[in-house]
Amino acid sequence: GLLKDGEARPTVFAQMSARAAAHGALNLGQGFPDDAPPTAVSEAAVDAIREGRNQYPPGAGEAVLREAIAEHQARWYGLRWDPASEVLVSTGATEALAATLLALVQPGDEVITLEPFYDQYAAIIALAGGVHRTAPLTSRTDETTGDLVLEVDEDALRDAFSPRTRAVLVNTPHNPTGLMLAQSTLQLIADEAARHDALIVTDEVYEHLTFGAAHRPLASLPGAQDRTISISSAGKTFSVTGWKIGWLTARPELITAITGVKQWLTYSSGAPFQPAVAAGLAMPPSAFHELAEDLRGRRDLLTDGLREIGFRVSVPEAGYFTVADASPLGEPDADALAERLPAEAGVVAIPLTAFYREGQAGAATAYLRMAFCKSRATIEQALEKLEAWA
Ligand code: PMP
Ligand code: GLN
């Protein structure tokens, strides 16, 4: 096949969740929440099933959801998309990313991502026959707090563009670091993409889980909308990662090309979940803010606790995860540590190396990714266990 051995094995998230189950360990590995979805969202799915919306929906998505996606983009970001021709519903952001790259990347085309990157990107670029170029994040210690800070190296990002760049795949808020790209970085990407006539593909699945500044989509930068495919998902925002409803917005020619691939991957996406996600997207802003605020409390619980145990922690601006440096605890090899932690401490975490190409992790070989999208009780127990282990 087209995948390297590492890409064809079960993902690190599947492996680590299996390990959590085998050891009865607390799972701060795979990013899925303990929370129930908002009641309006789960009730709408149950109603849809009872009403008999259980057969194939239209391949492009139910009209009610496509309209809700367009309205959401207009209300939150001032972006106008035609729900009939510029919105496509997908089976999670995962399928949106796959269909987009398979449709638009030809063998030999270069695709740029930051590094670390969400693991799917390397696999899909490989499946499309593309060449993966990366721009590494840099890390430093904050002088006042002693915390870990991960940042974009704008020069490296600019240098990653070339005449062969077909697309830049931008994940902000970022998994695994929770970093939100600065305005200057978004502008740099928009400018370089225009200069190289490259597409911009965004992965915005954490768009509503921000703890300070609001998310700003790349498509909203002047001149960027026409070359941007914006991707998001209901999974994180509404705590429904198992529903696998995502979407993308782009100009009609791009949507047509991507739909051409999507029809052979899944044809269509979970019928009763589509009106339910439409109900979620229509919730008032205060409901979104409450979800993020609650998550922020759990971020602080986990990062404060890890800092007290002796990790050097990053305090992310968004998302589900903190990055914790284990080297102050005398553990410079996070791969080995993540192997041992389920049995030794009863806690599962993901080594940050899972988000780097082979041999590229540098200082991050000592870093673990830990999820705080779990209940306060789970986080508190995990901290007690890590404290006892350290
Ligand atoms: N992109 C990122 C950055 C993710 O963290 C995830 C995992 N939730 C996905 C895409 C996949 O999203 P979905 O579950 O909607 O397929
Ligand atoms: N996005 C989730 C994470 O980063 C995992 C999704 C998956 O298992 N494919 O943990």
In this structure, the answer to whether residues 23 and 61 fall within a common structural domain is: no
Strand-pair partners of 246: 90, 233
- Put simply, whether the predicted model's pTM sits higher than 0.90 gets the answer yes
Can you give the pLDDT at residue 213?
96
> How many Å apart are CA 30 and CA 173, to the nearest integer?
17
Can you give the pLDDT at residue 190?
98
Instruction: Give per-10-residue mean pLDDT for the chain (390 aa).
Output: 86 90 94 94 98 98 98 98 98 98 98 98 97 97 97 98 98 98 98 98 98 97 97 98 98 98 98 98 97 97 98 98 98 96 96 96 96 97 97
Spatial CA neighbour of 314 closest among 215, 204, 206, 179: 179
119 lines ligand 1 (CB under 6 A): no
In this structure, the answer to whether residues 239 and 348 fall within a common structural domain is: no
Domain count, the chain: 2
Q: Compute the distance from residue 195 Cα to the ligand 2 centre, in Å.
A: 33
Report yes or no: 345 and 370 within 8 Å, Cβ to Cβ. no
From the alpha carbon of 94, which atom of ligand 2 is closest?
9
Pocket of ligand 2 (CB under 6 A): 11, 13, 30-31, 175
Cα-Cα end-to-end distance for the chain = 43
Residue located nearest, by CA, to atom 9 of ligand 2: 13
Q: Compute the distance from residue 117 Cα to the ligand 1 centre, in Å.
A: 12
Can you give the pLDDT at residue 335?
96
Residues of the domain holding 29: 5-37+286-389
> How many Å apart are CA 338 and CA 176, to the nearest integer?
15
Q: What is the largest CA-CA distance in the chain?
A: 59
Can you give the pLDDT at residue 5?
83
Q: Compute the distance from residue 138 Cα to the ligand 1 centre, in Å.
A: 23
In this structure, the answer to whether residues 54 and 194 fall within a common structural domain is: yes
In this structure, the answer to whether residues 371 and 278 fall within a common structural domain is: no
Q: State the Cα torsion 228-209-300-313 to the nearest 10°.
A: -20
Residue located nearest, by CA, to atom 4 of ligand 2: 31
Spatial CA neighbour of 196 closest among 164, 173, 218: 164
Per DSSP, the residues of 164-190 read: TEEEEEEESS-TTT-----HHHHHHHH
In this structure, the answer to whether residues 214 and 354 fall within a common structural domain is: no
The SS3 assignment for 110 reads strand
| Beta pairing, strands 165-171 & 110-115 | parallel
Residue located nearest, by CA, to atom 12 of ligand 1: 93
| Interhelix angle 273-281/39-50, nearest 10 degrees | 150
> How many Å apart are CA 278 and CA 63, to the nearest integer?
10
350: domain CATH number is 3.90.1150.10
In this structure, the answer to whether residues 83 and 136 fall within a common structural domain is: yes
> How many Å apart are CA 201 and CA 100, to the nearest integer?
8
In this structure, the answer to whether residues 256 and 377 fall within a common structural domain is: no
DSSP E strand boundaries for the chain: 26-27, 87-90, 110-115, 131-141, 148-152, 165-171, 199-203, 228-233, 246-249, 312-313, 321-325, 347-348, 350-351, 367-371
From the alpha carbon of 175, which atom of ligand 1 is closest?
3
The sign one gets for the Cα dihedral 328, 334, 340, 345 is positive
In this structure, the answer to whether residues 309 and 217 fall within a common structural domain is: no
Report yes or no: 190 and 197 within 8 Å, Cβ to Cβ. no
171 lines ligand 1 (CB under 6 A): yes
Q: Compute the distance from residue 178 Cα to the ligand 1 centre, in Å.
A: 13
In this structure, the answer to whether residues 43 and 25 fall within a common structural domain is: no
CA R_g for the chain: 20
In this structure, the answer to whether residues 28 and 115 fall within a common structural domain is: no
Nearest ligand, measured from the Cα of 231:
1
Can you give the pLDDT at residue 215?
98
Residue with token string 């991507």: 258
241 lines ligand 1 (CB under 6 A): yes
In this structure, the answer to whether residues 188 and 87 fall within a common structural domain is: yes
C-alpha of 82 from chain center: 25
Report yes or no: 245 and 231 within 8 Å, Cβ to Cβ. no
> How many Å apart are CA 373 and CA 172, to the nearest integer?
18
Report yes or no: 387 and 309 within 8 Å, Cβ to Cβ. yes
Can you give the pLDDT at residue 4?
86
207: domain CATH number is 3.40.640.10
Q: Compute the distance from residue 375 Cα to the ligand 1 centre, in Å.
A: 20
In this structure, the answer to whether residues 105 and 72 fall within a common structural domain is: yes
Domain boundary (284, 318, 339) is at 284
Residue located nearest, by CA, to atom 1 of ligand 2: 31
Q: Compute the distance from residue 287 Cα to the ligand 1 centre, in Å.
A: 22
